[in-house]
Amino acid sequence: MHRRIAAAITATAAAAGLAACQPPPPPGGPTGAERHKVEVTRRIDSITVPFAANSAELPRASRDGLSGFLSEIGADRDAVVVVRAPEGLRGDLGEQRRHAVARLLKRKGFRPVRRDALLPEVSIPENEVLVRVARYTAKLPECPDHRRHRLGRLTNQHSSNYGCATNHNLGLMVANPRDLVRGRGLEPARTSRQMHRIRSYRAGKQIGGGDGGGTGGIAAGE
């Protein structure tokens, strides 16, 4: 019985000793790479493009309104442009209207899509097509950061400048800051063909051209 009590006291003392050895949290929040992350912000602008009842022809006033909207917000070609039409209309009227708006956007150099994973769905009036333009910008960390340059001691922390240049350069190199939030899909690539090649490689089958004797092809394990 006395042994159990002594063991419990020893374990408690050891735990207290370990807690005392833990380094204190860094002042002012995270440091190093965690402190110098690239901040990505998003701005969403929307416009509804009206159509005449039971018509899929894009009116002249709607074309001018959409063109003026794009010029006003200064959207560049890297913007995410989502074109949505209400569902449940007679026949494929909604789809025809969406195509009419998408064709105009393509002529202006944009790449309209039906949906975007980062944009929530919203309701659309019956005789209108909704165009949403999402633009992403990156705020770069300020480098160098020499607020703390001494290393070692009990805290064993990185310098305050650790990771700053890496993240700063990443923000400079990325063409579209949205890629830092979510990766792009493989479209228009044929993912089924890519998956077939991957399965063949893993199974040790010959990949690519050649006559089966190893010329011009790649085999698993090479």
Encode pLDDT of 125-156 as tens digits: 899 999 999 999 999 998 888 776 665 556 66
Whether residue 102 contacts residue 108, with contact meaning beta carbons closer than 8 Å, is answered with no
Q: What is the pLDDT of residue 89?
A: 82
Q: What is the pLDDT of residue 101?
A: 97
Token pair of 64 as six digits: 């001018």
Cα 47 from Cα 159, distance rounded (Å): 48
Positions in the chain whose pLDDT score sits under 50: 1-25, 211-222
Q: What is the pLDDT of residue 4?
A: 45
pLDDT single digits (tens) 69-99: 999 999 888 899 999 999 888 889 999 999 9
Peptide linkage before 188 cis (omega within 30 of 0): yes
Token pair of 124 as six digits: 């659309």
pTM of the model: 0.64
Q: What is the pLDDT of residue 162?
A: 82
Q: H-helix or E-strand containing 9?
A: helix 2-21
Cα 69 from Cα 110, distance rounded (Å): 14
Q: What is the pLDDT of residue 222?
A: 42
Q: What is the pLDDT of residue 5?
A: 41
Q: What is the pLDDT of residue 87?
A: 84
Indicate the domain borders of the chain: 24-206
